[in-house]
Amino acid sequence: MPSLSPARQSLLLFLLALAVLLPGIWEATGLTGKDEFFLGLRTPMEMIEGNHWLVPFLDGAPRIRKPPMLYWVGRASFESFGISLVNARVIGVLFAALLIVSTAGVARRLSGNAQTGWVAGCILLGCLGMATEGRRFMLDVPVAALSTAAFWAFLTWLDLRRIRWLTAATLLLAAGFLTKGPIVALVFGGGFLALLFGRKLTLRELRPQLPALLGHALLWATLSLPWFFIVRTLYPEATNLVLADELESRQFFNLSPGILLGLLNIALPWVFVFAVAAWQQRRGSALTRLALVWFLATFIPFLFIKSFDRYLIGSLAPFAVFLAMALPQVRVRWPYRLGALLALLLGGALAGFTAWFNLGGWYWLILPSIYLAWAWWRERALAHTLTAPAIFWMALLWGVFPALGVNAVPTAVIELGRSEPVAMFDGPQPAMLPILSAQTHRHYGQLDKFDLAEIAAGKTPVFLEDKDAFRFQGMLTAAGYVATESGSYQTLASHGSGLRFARVGATAADWKAAFASRSLAPLQTTVRWYTVTKP
């Protein structure tokens, strides 16, 4: 969109991102994961119930494993507009739109070309990782958006030398640090290193600005650090335990080559086009090599820690900027075809699943699949190449995936959750009951005699999966309590990633039986609830 001013281009990209990412966020059976339904959605609800503001709480304990910014925003949204899935996930969508606009702004600022900015934003919008993570109430998109926006503001300051842009970058980095801690430095810091590598910036140029930089560093520290000192003062033992757990769980300096498959997952269908462009541009222009170095600086660290695919969301910003610059030089067609083929196979497998089991929804993908194949098999106008993936992922995540019924909760159970507190043991199931009933509900990983006494006194129903029944009964027996089953239901349930929806322990024979009978029963998780009493 070279004819549009930067401000109008940013506004148009923002609205386009909303149009693509908002549809389907209200679907309770849409793509989710434990970090969303168990942690993200429940924390601001418990903050409201317990009137916690400074320090978020979850299950009666301070939630200090992550900083509070997203939970503060979530509580504000719930109090302003009501507790609902939409009012949580719209926050994620807005941050995703900010990430897309900021990526386009960086591309435009680096290249001096409005068209490059537009292409970078549209490439990012068409990546699978944006389609999945941009629709959820989680930390990864917000921190990536704030870091990318900070880098955009910093580039603007370098060009214009107006102090308000340096202040904006500082405020954005502070907000990002309060969202997910030091990881906010990755996209911004990788971009800074790339500027030095590409000689777009030298330390000598920054020396006259040292007083301003030091002043803003002090501003950043003033905004970012007090919360952490307060938490450490209030909960010293918990803080030390959380820090030790985080260091252990990240497994620093352990090679994790699996993250390469993570990049394939989040960057589909563009990943093969990127690979070819990166090979071609290894000796290309200084500008494209700068963008490639920026990508590598954000990606390589994840090769040496335990990572999830969604951690690479920040890497998609330099990914899209580099590809927007290098795209005109990619003349071969096979990387487009291979990316489209894998996307079509993934979408086709899910649509075929819904069709085979008569779940509906498969028809959403017919026209988007034809459009993607048409736009990517042979060279078409760039507008079609950019548009087809975004429409394909929107149809898959809005129309097809929710039809699977993953984490579906019966109406009677939702009404039960609205009328009284319930307890969730281990699982936790029902996964979406808290947000659907607008009540946090308590989760228990273990049950001691004090927990059971409280549950029995309140006649609180205890929900659990079949796989946890033996351990549950063992804890009851040890404490001298008994449980009477009050009801049950079956559903496909999230276990880890969004596509792991079969019950834990399902075998190949179970899958064969399900397809042979065209019944989901062999794959479904049985969720039961009990009343606990003292004999």
Residue 1 within a domain:
no
In a shared domain, residues 58 and 183: yes
In a shared domain, residues 188 and 219: yes
Residue 464: per-residue pLDDT: 96
Domain boundary among 403, 429, 460: 403
Give the percent of the chain with pLDDT over 70.
Answer: 99
The CA distance from 94 to 80, in Å, is 16
Give the lowest-confidence range in 182-186, 242-246, 272-276: 242-246
Q: How confident is the model at residue 245 (pLDDT cuts 50, 70, 90)?
A: confident
Q: Take residue 429 and report the two structure tokens written for it.
A: 């199931």
The CA distance from 295 to 309, in Å, is 15
In a shared domain, residues 434 and 398: no
CB atoms within 10 A of CB 331: 8
In a shared domain, residues 156 and 33: yes
Residue 250: per-residue pLDDT: 66
Domain boundary among 314, 329, 344: 329
The CA distance from 436 to 417, in Å, is 8
In a shared domain, residues 440 and 363: no
DSSP per-residue string spanning 148-168: HHHHHHHHHHHHH--HHHHHH
Q: Is the pLDDT of residue 509 over 70?
A: yes
Q: Take residue 496 and report the two structure tokens written for it.
A: 């880890």
Q: How confident is the model at residue 123 (pLDDT cuts 50, 70, 90)?
A: very high
The CA distance from 185 to 166, in Å, is 15
CB atoms within 10 A of CB 222: 10
Residue 155 within a domain:
yes
Residue 102 within a domain:
yes
Residue 188: per-residue pLDDT: 97
Residue 308: per-residue pLDDT: 84
Q: Is the peptide bond before 428 cis (omega within 30 degrees of 0)?
A: yes
Residue owning tokens 């004819």? 3
Q: Is the pLDDT of residue 1 over 90?
A: no
Residues 127-163: tens digit of each pLDDT: 999 999 999 999 999 999 999 999 999 999 999 999 9
| Contact between residue 460 and residue 421 where contact means Cβ atoms under 8 Å apart | yes
In a shared domain, residues 432 and 314: no
The CA distance from 391 to 371, in Å, is 9
Domain span at 126: 6-329
> Can you tell me whether residue 442 is helix, strand or coil?
strand
**What does the pLDDT average to over 56-62?**
93
The residues, ordered by sequence, that sit 6+ positions from 368 with a Cβ below 8 Å of its Cβ are 347, 388, 391, 392, 394, 395, 396
In a shared domain, residues 117 and 240: yes
| Contact between residue 526 and residue 488 where contact means Cβ atoms under 8 Å apart | yes
Residue 338: per-residue pLDDT: 98
Domain boundary among 329, 353, 375: 329
Q: Is the pLDDT of residue 238 over 60?
A: yes
> Can you tell me whether residue 274 is helix, strand or coil?
helix
What average pLDDT does the chain have? 94
**What does the pLDDT average to over 9-24?**
97
| Contact between residue 44 and residue 87 where contact means Cβ atoms under 8 Å apart | no
pTM of the model: 0.96
In a shared domain, residues 346 and 316: no
Residue 248: per-residue pLDDT: 66
In a shared domain, residues 452 and 363: no
Residue 435: per-residue pLDDT: 97
Residues 325-363: tens digit of each pLDDT: 999 999 999 999 999 999 999 999 999 999 999 999 999
Residue 499: per-residue pLDDT: 82
**Closest C-alpha to 388, from 420, 347, 340, 432:** 340
In a shared domain, residues 221 and 306: yes
**What does the pLDDT average to over 205-219?**
95
Residue 391 within a domain:
yes
Angle at alpha carbon of residue 488, lines to 42 and 350, rounded to 5°: 70
Q: How confident is the model at residue 399 (pLDDT cuts 50, 70, 90)?
A: very high
In a shared domain, residues 87 and 140: yes
User: Mapped to the 3 state alphabet, what secondary structure does 34-58 carry?
Assistant: HHHHHHHCHHHHHHHHCCCCCCCEE
In a shared domain, residues 16 and 103: yes
**How many domains does the chain contain in total?**
3
Residues 299-333: tens digit of each pLDDT: 999 998 877 899 999 999 999 999 999 999 999 99
